[in-house]
Amino acid sequence: MRFLFDQNISYRVVKQLKVTLPDSVGVREVGLLDADDFAIWEYAKREDYVVVTFDKDIPMIGAVKGFPPKIIWLRTGNMSNQALISLFTARLSEFVDFNTRQNKGCLLVYLRTEEP
């Protein structure tokens, strides 16, 4: 599974996640650091990446244009880099499952709340 992390996700997060997800890249690594969201969406489609973003614009493009690329939309609010790494690794199997579903194009990810 290949992830393309949007510019709103620190390159430090991408670097740490590459240990377990070596085919993942940040937009900075592929020359898209200051690119508009449509260029990022097009690159992900062409190169077969799942886009990971906090931003609503790429999912909105996906809503109009369809998928691929698939999009993981993080709706968690501000998080530390370490918290984001922990969230991503803890829910990786969920992300893999999402990627295998042919009828799903966008996965909204919220923080899980503990049951009382």
Q: 82-97 pLDDT, tens per residue?
A: 999 999 999 999 999 9
Distances in whole angstroms, Cα of residue 99 to Cα of each of 28, 33, 81, 89, 90: 23, 25, 24, 15, 16
The number of distinct structural domains making up the chain is 1
Which structural domain range is residue 12 located in?
A: 3-109
Q: Would 61 be classed as within a structural domain? A: yes
Q: Would 116 be classed as within a structural domain? A: no
DSSP assignment of 60-114 equals HHHHHH--SSPEEEE-S-S--HHHHHHHHHHTHHHHHHHHH-TT--EEEE-PPPP
Confidence of residue 8 (pLDDT cuts 50, 70, 90): very high
- pLDDT above 80 (res 100): yes
Q: Would 29 be classed as within a structural domain? A: yes
Q: Supply the pLDDT for residue 111.
A: 86
Q: Would 105 be classed as within a structural domain? A: yes
Burial label for 112, CB within 10 Å (0-12, 13-18, 19+), is: exposed
Angle between helices 92-100 and 81-90 (to 10 degrees): 60
Q: Supply the pLDDT for residue 78.
A: 87
